[in-house]
Amino acid sequence: MSYAFSRNTTHRLRARAVLGLVLCAAFVMPAIFAAAASPAPTVDVNITKFAFVPNEITIAPGTKIIWTNRDETPHTVTSNDKSFVSKGLDTDDKFEHTFASEGDFSYICTLHPFMTGVVHVRKQ
């Protein structure tokens, strides 16, 4: 009888341990997925009338900028330090870049070098 009692006790302890782990997972997993599912902040910059609008912007690290060409003429988005370089963007084409680190990032349209912009990345 001692063996049966010991076996039942062991099964109960295992069942409680498994139940405890399941409950912990039930509370922890949604928090993990919520953090992973949080999209990066996004900012839109339009390319219109041969200008970047806005042409100067301040964002937090981790922010994604999406440039959209609204002109009938192709344009590019190229940083002076070449940390981001788009292909030629036709009308309604988009280019995106996520800024991971702080700094000042000047950029131009390589087809029209008078078109300039600056992204300031600062912790907020």
Report domain extents, the chain. Answer: 1-38, 42-121
Sheet of strand 52-53: strand arrangement? 52-53, 42-47, 63-69, 94-99
Question: Percent of the chain having pLDDT more than 90?
Answer: 67
**107 or 27, greater pLDDT:** 107
pLDDT tens string 2-46: 555 556 666 565 656 555 545 445 555 565 555 555 678 999 999
Distance from C-alpha of 85 to C-alpha of 56, rounded to nearest angstrom = 18
Tokens (6 digits) for 109: 């349209």
Distance from C-alpha of 81 to C-alpha of 47, rounded to nearest angstrom = 20
On whether the CB atoms of residues 41 and 19 are closer than 8 A, the answer is no
**Can you tell me which residue has the tokens 């782990």?**
21
- Residue 91: pLDDT band with limits 50, 70, 90: very high
Task: Give CATH superfamily name and number for 42-121.
Answer: Cupredoxins -  blue copper proteins (2.60.40.420)
Q: What spatial distance separates the first Cα and last Cα of the chain, rounded to whole Å?
A: 68
Distance from C-alpha of 78 to C-alpha of 116, rounded to nearest angstrom = 10
Given a cut of 60, whether residue 88 has pLDDT beyond it is yes
